[in-house]
Structure 1
Amino acid sequence: MGKTLAFWCMDRSRAVFTAVILMVLALGMMIPKIMIDTDPENMLSAEQPDRVKHNEIRDRFGLHDMIVVGQVNTQHAQGVFNPESLAAHYALTRAIEQMDGVIARDLMSMAAVDNVEQAGVGTIAYDWLIPSPPETQEEADRIRAAVERLPMYQGTLVSEDGQAAALFVPLESKDISHRIAMEIRSVVEGLGVADEFHITGQPVAQDTFGVEMFQQMAISAPLAGLVIFLAMLYFFRSLPLVIAPMLLAMATVISTMGLLIGMGYTVHIMSSMIPIFLMPIAVVASVHVLSNFADRYRPGDDPREVMGDVMDKLFKPVLFTALTTAVGFLSLLTTPIPPVQVFGGFISFGVVVALLLTLGFIPAYTVSLKRETLDRMAEKFRRKELADQQANKDGGLLGRMGRFPARKPGMVIGLVVAVLVVSVYGIQQIQINDNPTLWFKEDHRIRIADKVLNERFAGTYEAYINLRQTGIEQQVDELRRSIQLTLDEAAREGLDLRSAWSGMWEDSAGAASPGDRLETLAMLIDDHLFDAEPEAQDYWMEILDQVEAGRTATRAFQNPGHLAWMDELKNHLEKTGVIGKANSLADLVKTINRELVSGDMQDYVLPDRANGVAQTILSFQSSQRPDDLWNFVTRDFTQASIWLQLPSGDNQVMSRVVDAVDRFVADNPPPAGVELEWGGGTYINLVWQGEMVEGMLWALGSAFIVVLIMMIALFRSLLLGVLAMLPLTITIAAIYGVMGLIGKDYDMPVAVLSSLSLGLSVDFAIHFIQRLRMALDDVGGDWKAAMDQVFDEPARAIVRNAVVIAIGFLPLLAAPLVPYITVGVFLASIMATSALVSLFVLPAFIALAPRAVLGKAVKSV
């Protein structure tokens, strides 16, 4: 099959070249339509329940993605509370408010929030905290004194030590955060103050990563390709020959990315790595083919016949290695993470493209070269081989490697067992964690800003607890039954109130919520009292009282008991240290209540009655920013939000917060009918990370089984099939074991690399076992002689592949983005480990029982 296909392509080389060019041009034309997406929310499908709830919470409370700008002054004795720093703070606030895409009304800064202080008993003066830039230190001191009286600002807008101030900048869309950050930096440069300014926050980290990722895409893959090209040039000593795998890799990458973009998919962090992943996959098979060709070709040979023989021997290994790699990545389609599904699907497409080009384009290209070129290549290659043989008269490193495990299989297997034991321990130490800010190196300005601001403030990462009153419909139904009894009583007195009540009930049907409907009903009844007959007024008053009581019952978060429970939860979380700070409606009510009563801290408490809560809320409606109230409670007071500030975006931190809340709720159940839901970017990161881990484990397990079945089918032997999976098993165990031992977090790039391990690790095993079986036939069943033969040209091909790819991706270590560094390190490690295991461990297991493993082809000793 392989030889026939190769001859067909070699005889129609122009048609093959034309088809490849047309494919590359047609799909490559789609690439300029590229759209970048680094939003972690899109790691979950739009219908995923947690994401749906998260978006509902954002819409319900008018919450937005925010950039955090920090201003730090450690030189002045009063920190930022000096005229110059506060004037800069004021100017920066006004400039940010004018930026396109900033939601100015919700911007939080000392220069954009209220100062709440008593103007007299029962009266509050709501003025801007910084109405104008202070001109004297006394004015700056008064601002500081005012801030210190407002607990909601401490640790949020101002650091506890007064040396830093923060601005929370809400955005219309998170994908403009990089532009806004650059505009803010431009304004800061013109302020002319010595204060330090830092910009961070999840949106700007994600958007900046997208910008730098796009730049890195244009650097990493070509640089890796260049190094691979130079490595192949060193091995094959023929520029025209090594151009072939590079053209193949370029055609594969361009076609795959073009199809992805052309089908309307955005380029996420994972899909941005498709070129990097496809480069080794595309090159590996072609290097095997060219290595065999270079070993076999002699000056004067017919390249067509030599290539035909090569493809005849390698067709099965090349086909099955490609299929196993494709299966490995196709398994990612079973994960619940859309970007990972896209990544797996299109990598699989690229693998198939690379397979077809290896089977068709490489033979066509090779025979299209001039005989003189091939003869010079053969001479150079032969001189290098002779030099290597002379330097290694005893068979060289590969020869010794092949003989050692055959002589001492027990020692090798014992070493493998020891490695696996250590690896299992290391795997148990792995911590599942991800944080978009950690995608940058430690010296990146976003990482620096994140460290500085989270050390000084309560936290720049956010999560929200949504408290929702349930059973409201049942309460309304109970109210209607109660009112029906009143209507029945009036009817017995000869008063027909039903028609008027039915009309009012219908008129209130357009209300947004049950609570709003009851409020509308109360107003309608109150208006109706003016026209009601005197003898009916007592009944209408009774109905009004019932409606008012029902309305109060549905307005759960005007109930002091509900607010007290929220306050207890907040205090518990702050005391345990799992969060930096929490703000809720309870904090706002306590602040207003203090100023309404006396202005003293002893009155910083919740009112005893719902009417007292309502009074504080009514007072706040006279503030400069009355709509801030609706960030904490819905207008019908049936739902409330607690804003959590976290000093770290790590999933592990968020997980500890969730656990702490769960424990508190178990020990202190919320008021009857109140349910708790989660939202916020940090929580969403935790959700998708958990789904990714579960999905990747399922994908890896299912792919492992499928590949094992394919290996058994390929070799028609259960033992050989299991043996072929050894390099994969040992490689994954060793790599992840080391990862756990060195403390490397299990994140998205690491998780997906397991699929690449599956493909590339099995690749070497297939070539080794298949060539060993062929060699066994050549030497008449002497397995030791066959092993010696395998450790000649076939082993060299495996080593060349491993070296070419491993070296090729070392340039990624210089990338400014951590995921690219991770991929570079792990790719090199996977290639080196899987090649070593294939060449060193497989012979040891075969040597234990060669006839049992290799079958009757092994002659009896």
Structure 2
Amino acid sequence: MRSLYRLHHQLVLTRPWLTLALFAIVLVIASLKLHQFRLDASAESLVLENDSALEDYRTVNQRFGASDDFLVVTYTPHEDLFTREAIDTLRNLRNELAELEPVGSTNSILNVPLLHSPDLTLDTVESEILTLDEDDVPLDKARESLLSNPLYPNMLISEDATTTAIQVNLPTPQEYFDLLFRRNELREQERAGELNEQQAEELEQVSAEFTALLEKLETERTHTIADVRGILDQYRDRGEIHLGGVPMIASDMIRFIQNDLSTFGIGVLIFLLLTLVVIFRRWQWVVVPILCCGFTVWLVAGYLGWTQWPVTVISSNFVSLLLIMTLSLTIHLMVRYREYQQDFPGQDQKQHLRDTLSAMIKPCFYMALTTMVAFGSLTFSGIRPVIDFGWMMTLGLALAFAISFLIFPVLVSLLPEPAPRRSESGSLPLTDAFARFTEHFGGTVLIGSAILAALCIAGMARLSVENSFIDYFKSDTEIHQGMLVVDRKLGGTTPLDIVITDLQRPDDSRSDPFVSDCDPFVDDCEGGDLRDTWFTWQKLERLEQVHDYLDGLPETGKVTSITTTLRLLADVNGGEPLDAMQVAFVPAFLPDDLKPILLTPYINEEHEQARISVRLIDSLPDLKRDELLTEIRTHLTGQLELKEEQLLFTGMTVMYNNMLQSLFDSQIRTLGIVFLAIALMFLVLFRSLKLALIGLAPNLLAAGSVLGLMGWLGIPLDMMTITVAAITVGIAVDDTIHYIHRFREEFSKDRDYVATMHRCHQSIGRAMSYTTVTIIIGFSILVLSNFLPTIYFGLFTGFAMFMALMGALMLLPRLILVVKPFGPQDGS
């Protein structure tokens, strides 16, 4: 170890220019791939690791011709919707949108079949279909037809006929799905250890092609959405217009990430700059730490570019966090350097640096290591973006430590030595006040901590994970406003697909359906009779029961299925339900241009599946997704006697719920790993079980405080706030390590616990206060985000850091005074 120290000192202090030149080469190499640094807001970035629901979702969409690749433009005219002026405005708007090159097609009340002609029957469906586009339909008749149609209300038109929607379809090329499924197939083989060398090369090539195609599509979508917004802006004076849809949400999420990266990065940098100026008042102590912070972010961003590792909305905080954590390390070095300047004014700059590095490398190493453990614990969460965030920060903290002990001393040695701080008798009154309070009111500190711990436990018992995706965004954002209109007037926002597989198919599909007296169109025949189709009365009646049950739930908005189609055809049939023979021939007499609307989205005979599409009202305050899904499954398998293996629940609702429900387990798992790892490191570092337990106490209280406060305020856990407790422990433990390390060092001077506490508060307590204030100020920048979980993350992490500082300056020293872990003091 000593030889390593000597090598470090020789390289850094003896040859600083060489070290700086080598580091410059590393920076240049990192910068070569900075242009490949990319952002990701796709469905894959928001689901559990290896969640099969994502594959189910894609498979179901392909089988039934369903897709979320469309924008929704809602239009609420100032006047009545069914006036010639409003309809003309809607048509002009639709036409301009349809002319955009990436738009495949549009759907609106203008082009959908009205199915209201008096001559319309099942036999004349194809010839008697009318539309507002092609026929001179009286607007009052069109209104009546649209509202009486079981398909359109709460989908293309609100039930009060004040709001309508244009669906702008943005087809995804088949190449995307071909590459996606091939990549996933090869990944499965890789996980199973069945990948040969040729397949490994193919996986690398397919992954690169898929990434390139994805970037191209994302760029095209971004431009398309910008063009759509430009068109909408020309019509906003004629009514209330909002834009929604999964592509818009994904595009805006990327825009939010970009804004967060730039806003937080620049904002944090400015605040840190001001903090350094106010605290240290020497230009060297401003330039050096800012450069170290910038270098850390540069290297991490370069690495992400080289590996093409995308940043998600969760990991978009990595810039601000790395700036703050790197600065925290450098502040500890600067404070200790200034102490040596004041205590040993006769020594030269290199000696001050040598003493500073020797004194601080051990506590800073454990400080960085514990924080890396905290972020590393996030990799056990099971949530893809949280896992990525954990790895990114673990890498970043390793680089931050390396830069702090390599580049910081190099820069300090190459710059003119900063003038020593003025002697400050008793200095920093705040930390001294904490020391006096802890000395004279120790009982109050312990009792107050116990009461706070009880409140934390009670608050944590109130934690939940149920939250609304709409409420993730500020109310003035277009995402929030558009989703709210769709949610309240157009049938709900969050899609849920329930796919029912027909398990009654005969093994021999060629068997003669008429070999028995059983009528397969009416009766549920046993044996080898005709059951290789969904279009029997018995099966469709069962699907109708499922449809009606789902439609009756207060949490559901629009429900569509083959039942919707049959009811529509019943209206065409003069209001009479279709008989068994008519039901059997529905696929035959439906016109080809109506099948993609009325048939194929709901029935797939090839795979023997029927799909029921449900949209949930996401803005309902009492919406509990997990309970709802459990209730639906229980009802279908119990009351309606469907088999468990017949049912497949998929869609964004399922993936989002899987992620939410994993948060509780994830929180317990990550916190358990953090505290276990930190306890072990405390044992190694302090070689004392007493000190290890004492050191954990303020960190447990800090983590419990933030979770308890969330529980009492009724703020649920989400993808962002789940990381707060683990990160808090990792950062807060830094104060514990530095304080105990300094206490042991100071205690050896006079073996007086109280005097040592006062000296520690005025030395390391000062650095702890500076770093905590810096961190709180840095995290406060996150309130500028449009993503509410990011705002909560910033506020709660700042609060947790404040609580950690209070614990380190009051509870920790009080426990040391009570337990006396360093042995008896002199004279006792």
TM-score (norm. length: structure 2) = 0.87
Structure 2 residue aligned with 1:288, among 319, 332, 335? 332
For the structure 1 residues 471 and 740, does the alpha-carbon distance in structure 2 shift closer, same or farther, using more than 3 Å as the test? Answer: same
Give, as a single letter, the amino acid of the residue that structure 1 aligns with 2:72: V
Amino acid at match of 2:455: V
Q: Which of the residues 548, 553, 574 maps onto 2:531?
A: 553
Tell me by how many angstroms 1:439 deviates: 3.7
- Per the alignment, residue 312 of structure 2 pairs with 268
> Residues 692 and 168 of structure 1: is their aligned pair in 2 closer, same or farther, counting only changes over 3 Å?
farther
The answer for the alignment partner of 2:83 in structure 1 is: 82
**Of 251, 259, 274, the match for 2:303:** 259
Name the CA distance, whole Å, in 2 between partners of 1:26 and 1:274.
Answer: 21
Aligned residue number for residue 498 of structure 2: 465
Partner of residue 123, structure 1: 123
1:589 to 566, 572, 583: 566
1:68 maps to 2:72: yes
Aligned to 1:323: 369
Superposed counterparts of 1:601-680, under 5 Å = 603=576, 605=577, 607-609=578-580, 611-621=581-591, 624=594, 626=596, 628-636=598-606, 638-648=608-618, 652-671=623-642, 675-680=646-651
For residues 762 and 16 of structure 1, the distance between their equivalents in structure 2, rounded to whole angstroms, comes to 31
Change (3 A) 1:621 1:672: farther
Change (3 A) 1:758 1:674: closer
1:147, CA displacement in angstroms? 0.9
1:847 aligns with 2:825: no
Amino acid at match of 2:123: T
What is the CA distance between 1:614 and its match in structure 2? Answer: 2.1
The answer to whether the aligner puts 1:708 opposite 2:679 as a matched pair is yes
Instruction: Check conservation: 2:372, 2:397, Cα contact below 8 A.
Output: yes
2:627 & 2:486 partners in 1: Cα distance? 21
Give the residue type in structure 2 aligned to 1:578.
E
Distance 1:336 1:146, change over 3 A: same
CA shift digits 1:370-394 (9 cap, x unpaired): 24xx23xx1xx216x35x74xx8xx
Q: Which whole-Å CA distance do the structure 2 matches of 1:824 and 1:245 have between them?
A: 22
2:675 maps to a residue whose letter is F
Q: What is the DSSP-based 3-state SS (H/G/I as helix, E as strand, rest coil) of the residue aligned with 2:167?
A: strand
Distance 2:639 2:133 in 1: 46
1:19-38 aligned at under 5 Å gives the runs 19-38=22-41
In the TM superposition, what are the counterparts of 1:180-259 in structure 2 within 5 Å?
180-191=224-235, 194-259=238-303
Aligned counterparts of 2:632 and 2:369: Cα–Cα separation in 1:
47
Task: Assess if the C-alpha contact under 8 Å between 2:56 and 2:650 holds in 1.
Answer: yes
Q: Deviations over 1:288-331 (max 9, x none)?
A: 01011112214553122122222222221101011111111122
Distance verdict in 2 for CA 1:718–1:219, change over 3 Å: same
In angstroms, what is the RMSD of aligned CA positions? 2.9
Deviations 1:219-245 (A, max 9, x none): 211220121121112111111222111
Separation in 2 of the partners of 1:672 and 1:560? 19
CA distance in 2, matches of 1:431, 1:586: 36
Match of 2:447 among 410, 414, 424: 414
Range that drifts further, 689-698 or 219-228: 689-698
1:34-45 maps to which residues of 2 (within 5 A)?
A: 34-44=37-47
Q: Distance in 2 between matches of 1:663 and 1:93?
A: 43
Amino acid at match of 1:86: I
Distance 1:818 1:221 in 2: 18
- 1:128–1:836 Cα change, 3 Å: farther
Structure 2 CA distance for partners of 1:441 and 1:44, relative to 1, 3 Å: closer
Query: TM-score w.r.t. structure 1 length?
Result: 0.83
Change (3 A) 1:703 1:551: farther
Equivalent residue pairs, number = 766
Paired residue for 2:16, among 9, 13, 16? 13
Say if 1:326 and 1:352, in contact at 8 Å, map to a contact too: yes
Counterparts of 1:120 and 1:817 in 2: how far apart (Å)?
Answer: 51
- Secondary structure of the residue aligned to 1:631 is coil
Report the alpha carbon displacement of residue 736 of structure 1 after superposing the two structures with TM.
1.4
Mapped to 2, the partners of 1:334 and 1:248 lie a distance apart of 30
Deviation at 1:652, TM superposition (A): 4.9
Equivalent of residue 792 in structure 1, options 750, 756, 762 = 762
Give distance in 1, aligned partners of 2:487 and 2:619.
10
- C-alpha distance in structure 2 between counterparts of 1:71 and 1:139, whole Å: 21
Task: Select 2:697's aligned residue among 716, 726, 732.
Answer: 726
Give the superposition deviation at 1:671.
4.8
Superposed displacement of residue 855, structure 1: 3.2
Deviation per CA, 1:541-564: give whole Å up to 9, x if none. xxxxxx999573121x21223222
Q: Are residues 768 and 123 of structure 1, via their aligned partners in 2, closer, same or farther at CA, if it must alter by over 3 Å? A: same
Unmatched 5+ stretches in structure 2: 173-216, 517-524
The amino acid across from 2:653 in the alignment is T
Preserved contact between residue 469 and residue 618 of structure 2 (Cα < 8 Å)? no
Contact map agreement 1:569 1:661 (CA 8 A) in 2: no
- Alignment partner of 1:338 is 2:384: yes
1:814 correspondence with 2:784: yes
1:352 maps to which residue? 398
- The corresponding residue for 1:489 is none
Contact 1:439 1:819 (8 Å CA) reproduced: yes
Tell me which of 656, 662, 666 is aligned to 1:685. 656
Q: Distance in 2 between matches of 1:267 and 1:801?
A: 27
1:767 maps to 2:735: no
Q: CA 1:16–1:192 in structure 2 vs 1: closer, same or farther (change >3 Å)?
A: closer
Whole-angstrom CA distance in 1 between matches of 2:5 and 2:754:
29
Report how far residue 411 of structure 1 moved: 1.4
Q: Which residue of 2 aligns with 1:801?
A: 771
Partners of 2:20 and 2:388 lie apart in 1 by 29
Shift of 1:25: 1.9
- Classify the secondary structure of the residue corresponding to 1:644: strand
Give the C-alpha shift of residue 822 in structure 1: 2.7
Tell me the residue number matched to 1:531: none
Q: In the aligned structure 1, how far is the partner of 2:395 from the partner of 2:65? A: 42
**Structure with the bigger percentage of helix:** 1
2:416 maps to 370
Question: 1:221, 1:275 within 8 Å by CA — same for their partners in 2?
Answer: yes
Q: Partner of 2:649: helix, strand, or coil?
A: strand
Gaps of 5+ in 1: 480-514, 527-537, 540-546
Residues 639, 625 of structure 1: alpha-carbon distance in 2 compared, 3 angstrom cutoff: closer
Percent of residue pairs bearing the same amino acid type: 20
Distance 1:802 1:429 in 2: 28
Please name the residue that 2:93 is paired with. 92
Shift of 1:254: 1.0
8 Å CA contact retained: 2:74, 2:163: yes
Deviation at 1:677?
0.6
Match of 1:836 in 2: 806
Mapping for residues 84-163 of structure 1, pairs under 5 Å: 84-104=85-105, 107-117=106-116, 119=119, 122-126=122-126, 130-132=131-133, 139-163=138-162
